[in-house]
Copies of this chain bind each other. A is one copy, B any other.
Amino acid sequence: MSLAAARGVYVIAPTPFDDDGRIDDESIDRMTDFFRAAGATGITVLGQMGEAPKLDAAEALAIASRVIRRAGVPVVVGVTAPGFAAMRALAREAMDAGAAGVMIAPPNTLRTDDQIAGYYRQAVEAIGTDVPFVIQDYPLTFSVVMTPAVIRRIVQENASCVMLKHEDWPGLDKISALRGFERDGSMRRISILTGNGGLFLDFEMERGADGAMTGYCFPDMLADVVRLSAAGSRDAAHDLFDAHLPLIRYEQQQGVGLAVRKYVLMKRGVIACEAQRRPGAKLAPAARAEVDYLLSRLARSDPRAAGLT
Contact = CB atoms under 8 A, between A and B. Distances in A.
B249 A199 contact: yes
A56 interface: yes
A149 interface: yes
A255 B297 CA distance: 32
A155 to B, nearest CB: 17
A286 interface: yes
Contact of A173 (B52, B170, B250, B284): B284
Interface in A188-204: 199-200, 202-203
Contact of A170 (B84, B85, B256): B256
A28 to B, nearest CB: 17
A97 interface: no
Number of copies of this protein chain within its complex? 4
Secondary structure class of chain A's binding surface, majority of residues: helix
A148 to B, nearest CB: 10
Contact of A246 (B115, B169, B245, B290): B245
Interface string A78-90: 0001111110110
Nearest to A170: B253
A114 interface: yes
A172 interface: yes
B256 A85 contact: no
A243 B75 CA distance: 37
Interface string A91-121: 0000000000000000011011111001000
The 3 closest A-B pairs by CB, nearest first: A53-B83, A170-B253, A111-B145
